[in-house]
Structure formats: structure tokens, C-alpha cells
Amino acid sequence: MTLLDAFSLEGKTAVITGASSGLGVAFANGFAEAGADVAICARRVEKLEQTKEQVEAIGRRCVAVQADVARPEDCDRFVEQAVDELGKVDVLINNAGIGTAAPATREVPDEFRKVIDINLNGSYWMAQACGRAMGKSGGGSIVNIGSVLGSTTAGLPQAAYAASKAAIIGLTRDLAQQWTGRKNIRVNALAPGFFESEMTEQYPEGYLDQMMFRVPMARKGEARELVAAAIFLASDASSYVTGILLPVDGGLLTT
């Protein structure tokens, strides 16, 4: 195997959550371009089918399943279908997530619980389901999608979102120490900085541009840059990497 071959996902199957819009669609297409067959899930089935069509147009197999990651039974059903139709699970991209911007004194309990249930609990339930499948096939790689807001703040009242993304760091480290040696499952996390997504469309107009003063590269990230980092962590190129948080943030966390 050449060094370049180590980045290939040829022959691998990747499970990607939250693949109906934004960065989830970019992950699905990018992993297909890198050679992987893809299993995708989301709650919005119509948009999920559009992603499936894009993946198949690239020439890879794709399984699309409507599922809510906050429901453990949905995670189990999704992974079982992925294994049934694609044969195995090698990679999990734990991308599904939501965000709110609500002042802490006014955020109602159900709003907070919903963010934690999808962003944190959903990542855990999906990691459990994929971890079981990977354990049967000799191992794999899990990439949790965190955020720089797990390590810093960014001017908006986002207690639920920030708390969920900080918890992703701890979840990643613990699963890495549990599974890397025993099950050959590497577990890492990405911390995206400022990327345009469906979630950021909810922010005040001009917010992302205003935040560029904190980014040494002085620009927003492009989806392909985050996908490339995920491919590195998913592929054999990172075979000696586990338990890390990799910021993809244009240097934001250095300031």
C-alpha cells in the first residue's frame, strides 16, 4: 500500500447520520468519492432520498433509512439494515445534531433536553449500535462531529449546544480507551469552526461574517475541508490516531 492508498475508503462501508442536509450531504458525497459505500439516515425522508440519488450517481451503493438518533431502537434498526444490505460497517460519522440560541434564563427544559438528546445521547446510541457491528467484523473507525463551541464560546447564548459538544469530547476519549485496544475501533472527534450549514441559517444576519475577526485564516470553512479531515480519521491514514479532538477551524482555537 502506498501512502496515498492509505487515504482510500475503497471497499469500506460508512454510516453517516444527519445526511439530509448541509454538512451531512457533503460527508455522504465525499465518502462516496473516496470509494465507500454509504448508509445514511435522517428524520426527513424526502431530502434523504435526494442524498441517496447523489451518492448513487457517483457510482457507490447507498442505503437510506428514516431514523431519529435520539431513539436507541432507531439506531439499532438503521445499523442492522446497513449490515443486511451492505454487508458490514467500517466507519461511523456521527453528524446528526441541532442547535438553539436561547438565553439561559428563558430556555425551557424541553428545548434543552432535545438538544442533549440528539447531539449527545444520539451520538452515544449510534456509537453503541455501530460498535457492536464493527466488533463482529474486526474493527472500524468512529468520527464524532463536535464543535469549537465545546471548547470556547462565540457570542450567542448556546448553553445546550455548547454543553452537548463539550460532552462529545469526553465521550470520544472514553470510547477510545474502551474500544481501541479490545475491539480495534478507533474513536476520534472533529471540532468544526465556522461553516455555513442549515443550523447557521438560524443565526442573526451577518453573524458568521462578524465572527471572522476571531479566525486567523479570516474566512469561513468550506465543506470539502471538513470532509477531508473526516476521511483522514476514517481511513487507514490515521491508523495510529485515537481519542483525539481535531479542530478544523481556521485557527480559531489558537486565539
The domain that holds 168 is classified in CATH as 3.40.50.720
Residues 8/11/14/19 CA torsion (nearest 10 deg): 80
User: Is the per-residue pLDDT at 72 higher than 90?
Assistant: yes
| pLDDT score for 129 | 98
Catalytic residue among 161, 203, 207, 240: 161
Quick check: is 150 in a domain? yes
Sequence-distant (≥ 6) Cβ neighbours of residue 204 within 8 angstroms: none
User: Is the per-residue pLDDT at 9 higher than 90?
Assistant: yes
| pLDDT score for 1 | 77
| pLDDT score for 231 | 98
Q: Are 157 and 175 in contact (CB under 8 A)?
A: no
Quick check: is 100 in a domain? yes
Domain count, the chain: 1
User: Is residue 161 annotated as part of the catalytic site, yes or no?
Assistant: yes
- The string of pLDDT tens digits covering residues 169-214 is 999 999 999 999 999 999 999 999 999 887 777 778 889 999 999 9
Quick check: is 255 in a domain? no
| pLDDT score for 198 | 75
Supply the mean pLDDT for the chain: 96
Task: Calculate mean pLDDT across residues 62-82.
Answer: 98
Quick check: is 206 in a domain? yes
* CA atoms 191, 194, 197, 201: torsion sign: positive
Quick check: is 254 in a domain? no
Quick check: is 253 in a domain? no
Structural domain of 228: 4-248
Predicted model pTM? 0.97
Quick check: is 204 in a domain? yes
